[in-house]
């Protein structure tokens, strides 16, 4: 089953790093993901976060603000 | 820095010896920091003597300022940023928002300005933060109090002011910085300018989300501190060197009586001039404090110099460009006007108090 993952962020360096980390973890775990970067401010705000980068997995916000930890990404992807 | 070795780890799988190892490493690093720091002044004097420059000349004075201040400022910055990185791991914009949502003005402004000091904030996050706050029911004026305090009254500015100019100046800056953020936010709230937000901002409807708790251990908080150091020092390094070079030039070459006549207490127009000059300029607090130090050494009035510093940090052209995405030009003008007036008042007040 493909997981729908969105990385929320206006395109700052941390947001790109976060997207790369998600990709790397997904490959390591062998989880199929559909990764989308959301850069539109209105769309980002619609998810209810106040700091970026944010991560949304299957429609649920799991992280906001700062770089996530690799272990946490793995946990979100395999949940 | 506290070293409570018996801090219970929040997750059972973290081995306690690993935590104590990290704490020991932090304690050792801090001790080494103080040892090196104590040697900086003798070292810089020795280093300048080795250079083929006649002592007592303008060049020698400028070089000594530069050679002493660069490692000093960088070391102080590292320590302060590390400590605040650890403190900030206890706060997040989402948590701050939850504390502020539905708060009434007044109390809300005070809380917002205070939380602005400890909540992690970077200008690239200013827009999501602004919308996130306003759409979740934080009053506009309270949001502004946060947005003014967060960049202006930050750990870098306070730490460096404390170290270079003493605790009185640092405490005064803290008090007046918070005062400006609280009053300016309150005033903007009184104007009821919600209609002056960009249309799309008003249409964003979101509810504050509850994030699943991520496991945060003591070691994670230490790592957060180290991460903050890497991040900030990389980002502001060039500003610091530029600021110190400018400070060194002022220290070595600018005649004291010239500067005192321009920026001294008797020149009433120098406070508004300092605020106006500061708006288009942009620098990190770390870059501006060495300049402040050098200007003060040459007889500039404290209020004038701090007004300049606040204006450079709190009202910067790049931040206004970012905020323009969510605020109409009219609201930006009100923001600049109210904050500028506050800085002006503080400048005059400082000059009166620290006579």
- pTM for this structure? 0.80
Give the tens place of pLDDT for each residue, B218-240.
Answer: 888 888 888 888 887 887 777 78
Q: Which domain holds residue B243?
A: 27-45+55-204+218-353
**Helix, strand, coil tally for chain A in percent (to 5):** 40, 25, 35
ipTM here: 0.77
Give the tens place of pLDDT for each residue, B267-288.
Answer: 788 899 988 888 887 777 778 8
| Residue A64 touches chain B, beta carbons under 8 Å | yes
Any domain includes B15: no
Any domain includes B10: no
Tell if the CB–CB gap between A63 and B211 is shorter than 8 Å: yes
| Residue A38 touches chain B, beta carbons under 8 Å | no
Chain A hits for B127, CB-CB cut-off 8 Å, are: 10, 41
CA dist list (Å): B298 to B18, B41, B48, B172, B293: 51, 20, 21, 21, 9
Enter the tokens of residue B183. 């009053």
Any domain includes B178: yes
Q: How many domains does chain B have?
A: 1
Any domain includes B211: no
pLDDT for the residue numbered B6: 41
Chain A hits for B128, CB-CB cut-off 8 Å, are: 8, 10, 41, 44-45, 49-52
Rounded Cα gap, residues B329 and B340, in angstroms? 16
Q: Which CATH superfamily is domain A3-78 in?
A: Glutaredoxin (3.40.30.10)
Q: Could you tell me how many residues make up chain A?
A: 79
Give the tens place of pLDDT for each residue, B316-337.
Answer: 887 888 888 888 999 999 999 9
Any domain includes B6: no
Tell if the CB–CB gap between B132 and A45 is shorter than 8 Å: yes
Any domain includes B212: no
Any domain includes B184: yes
Rounded Cα gap, residues B206 and B71, in angstroms? 47
Over residues B169-191, mean pLDDT: 92
Q: Return the SS3 of B193.
A: coil
Q: Helices B167-190 and B302-314 meet at what angle, rounded to 10?
A: 50
Q: Taking the domains of chain A in order of start, what are their residue ranges? A: 3-78
Any domain includes B288: yes
């Amino acid at each position: 089953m493909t997981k729908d993952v969105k990385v929320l962020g206006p395109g700052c360096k941390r947001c790109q790093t976060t997207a790369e980390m998600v990709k790397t973890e997904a490959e390591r775990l062998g989880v199929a993901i559909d990764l989308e970067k959301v850069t539109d401010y209105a769309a980002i705000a619609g998810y209810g976060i106040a700091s970026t980068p944010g991560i949304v997995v299957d429609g649920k916000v799991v992280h906001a603000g700062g770089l996530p930890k690799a272990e946490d990404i793995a946990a979100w992807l395999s949940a | 820095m506290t070293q409570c070795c018996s801090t219970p780890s929040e997750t059972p799988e973290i081995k306690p010896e690993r935590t104590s190892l990290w704490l020991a490493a932090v304690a050792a690093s801090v001790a080494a920091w103080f040892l090196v720091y104590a040697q900086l002044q003798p070292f810089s004097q020795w280093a300048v003597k080795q250079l083929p420059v006649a002592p007592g000349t303008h060049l020698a004075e400028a070089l000594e300022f530069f050679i002493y201040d660069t490692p000093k400022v960088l070391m102080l910055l590292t320590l302060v940023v590390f400590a605040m990185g650890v403190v900030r791991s206890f706060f997040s914009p989402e948590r701050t928002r939850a504390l502020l949502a539905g708060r009434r003005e007044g109390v809300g402004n005070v809380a917002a300005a205070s939380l602005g000091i400890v909540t992690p904030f970077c200008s690239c996050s200013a827009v999501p933060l602004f919308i996130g706050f306003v759409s979740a029911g934080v009053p506009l004026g309270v949001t502004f109090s946060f947005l003014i305090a967060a960049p202006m009254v930050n750990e870098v500015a306070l730490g460096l002011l404390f170290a270079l100019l003493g605790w009185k100046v640092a405490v005064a800056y803290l008090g007046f910085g918070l005062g400006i953020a609280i009053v300016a936010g309150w005033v903007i709230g009184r104007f009821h300018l919600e209609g002056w937000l960009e249309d799309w901002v008003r249409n964003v409807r979101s509810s504050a989300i509850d994030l699943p708790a991520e496991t945060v251990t003591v070691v994670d908080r230490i790592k957060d501190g180290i991460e903050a150091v890497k991040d900030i020092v990389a980002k502001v390094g060039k500003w610091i060197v530029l600021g110190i070079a400018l400070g060194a030039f002022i220290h070595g070459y600018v005649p004291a009586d010239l500067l005192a006549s321009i920026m001294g207490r008797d020149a009433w127009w120098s406070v508004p001039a300092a605020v106006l000059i500061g708006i288009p300029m942009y620098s990190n607090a770390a870059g501006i404090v060495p300049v402040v130090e050098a200007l003060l050494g040459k007889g500039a009035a404290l209020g004038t110099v701090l007004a300049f510093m606040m204006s450079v940090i709190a009202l910067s052209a790049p931040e206004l460009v970012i905020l323009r995405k969510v605020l109409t030009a009219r609201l930006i003008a009100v923001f600049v006007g109210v904050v500028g007036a506050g800085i002006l008042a503080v400048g005059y007040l400082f000059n009166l108090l620290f006579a």
